[in-house]
């Protein structure tokens, strides 16, 4: 595997020490299943939607959690009790297997809502940058009293 030299970035980016760890995480060889398929849409400048095809799953069989900057969607089918008869398929194209899908969220990205409709799970997200983090104009000749 190739090593990436990030030293040129540190010359012009001040305070982005976490950038190296994010790149390292993204470049790991952890294989994530391609199931279930999903789309990520840009709805507006700071609004996003993740749509996942979760055919065969009910609302109570899908859980969504956000921990730090990781969105985790887990689908689990309970084992059906009393089902002794094995189903025989001539063709099985609808997968009903359990899944776990993780998404790394950027700073200040919040989950607004989630909805399951017609076999599609929609998760709406928005980047809510605090006023203190937004760019501000500094007048030449002004004195900075507090750096916040």
pLDDT in tens, 2-16: 666 656 655 555 555
What does the domain layout of the chain look like in residue ranges? 33-79+94-130
Q: Which is more confident, 143 or 146?
A: 143
Coil, strand or helix: which one is 38? strand
The string of pLDDT tens digits covering residues 46-89 is 899 999 999 888 999 999 999 888 899 999 988 766 565 677 88
State the fold for domain 33-79+94-130: Immunoglobulin-like (2.60.40)
Give the pTM: 0.66
Predicted confidence at residue 92, as pLDDT, reads 83
Distances in whole angstroms, Cα of residue 135 to Cα of each of 61, 129, 138, 144, 148: 42, 10, 10, 15, 12
Mean pLDDT of 13-32: 58
Dist. CA 8–CA 16, nearest whole Å: 12
Coil, strand or helix: which one is 135? coil
Predicted confidence at residue 85, as pLDDT, reads 66
Instruction: Please name the residues in contact with 33: beta carbons below 8 A apart, sequence gap of 6 or more.
Output: 99, 101
pLDDT of residue 27 exceeding 80, the answer is no
pLDDT of residue 28 exceeding 60, the answer is no
Q: Of the spans 9-13, 21-25, 110-114, which averages the highest pLDDT?
A: 110-114
Cis ω for the linkage preceding 36 (within 30 of 0): yes
Dist. CA 92–CA 96, nearest whole Å: 10
Sign of CA dihedral 17, 134, 128, 146: positive
Predicted confidence at residue 69, as pLDDT, reads 85
């Amino acid at each position: 595997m190739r090593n990436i030299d990030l030293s040129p970035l540190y010359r012009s980016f001040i305070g982005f020490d976490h950038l190296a760890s994010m790149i390292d995480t993204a470049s790991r060889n952890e294989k994530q299943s391609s199931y279930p398929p999903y789309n990520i849409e840009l709805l507006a400048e700071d609004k996003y939607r993740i749509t996942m095809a979760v055919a065969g799953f009910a609302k109570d069989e899908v859980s969504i959690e956000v921990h730090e900057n990781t969105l985790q969607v887990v689908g689990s089918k309970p084992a059906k009790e009393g089902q002794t008869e094995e189903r025989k398929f001539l063709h099985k194209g609808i997968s009903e297997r359990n899944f776990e899908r993780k998404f790394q969220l950027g700073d200040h990205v919040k989950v607004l809502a989630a909805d399951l409709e017609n076999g599609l799970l929609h998760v709406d997200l928005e980047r809510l940058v605090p006023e203190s983090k937004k760019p501000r104009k500094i007048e030449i000749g002004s004195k900075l009293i507090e750096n916040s």
